[in-house]
Amino acid sequence: MTWYGIHAVEMLYTLFGAGCKEVSRMSSPDEDVITARWNDGKLGTIHLQRPYGKFGAVVFLKDQKLNAMPEIQFSYVPLVAEIVGFMQTKSAPVPNAVTLEMFAFMDAAQRSLQQGGKAISLSK
């Protein structure tokens, strides 16, 4: 999951922020579905299609649904700008704690799959 799902995890963390409590993952030959519960009760789901699928997000709020289906432009300009900014300021664009939690999220998703979809707690 980590080699092709990291961008979906980044999107989920951009929307929800840090504070994921537990993760579960189910898989089929063509897709993976990861469900996560945040400490404040929010639920997030990632649906990954293999080999590739449309990239985007659907956010369900109490009385509203938001769709984000960006047209992905393949340009390294924004990435290079972030790298240059980091080199100049020594300040990462994403806090280290959030980055580490995203890796813990992906690790928990993998362990969940290996345990038949059991919910796995993110350990701090």
Q: Which residues is 32 bridged to in the sheet?
A: 27, 48
Instruction: Give mean pLDDT, residues 28-33.
Output: 92
C-alpha angle 54-59-65 in degrees, rounded to nearest 5: 110
Enumerate the β-bridge partners of residue 27.
Answer: 32
Say if residue 20's pLDDT is above 90.
Answer: yes
Question: Dihedral (C-alpha) 41, 34, 121, 1: value to the nearest 10 degrees?
Answer: -150
Mean of the pLDDT values across residues 113-122? 96
pLDDT score recorded for residue 1: 54
Domain boundaries, the chain: 2-121
Query: What distance in Å separates the CA atoms of residue 82 and residue 85, rounded to the nearest whole number?
Result: 5
Q: Are 43 and 36 in contact (CB under 8 A)?
A: yes
**pLDDT per position as a tens digit, 46-78:** 888 888 777 777 777 788 887 777 676 678 898
Mean pLDDT of 15-44: 93
Q: In CATH, what number does 2-121 get?
A: 3.30.360.10
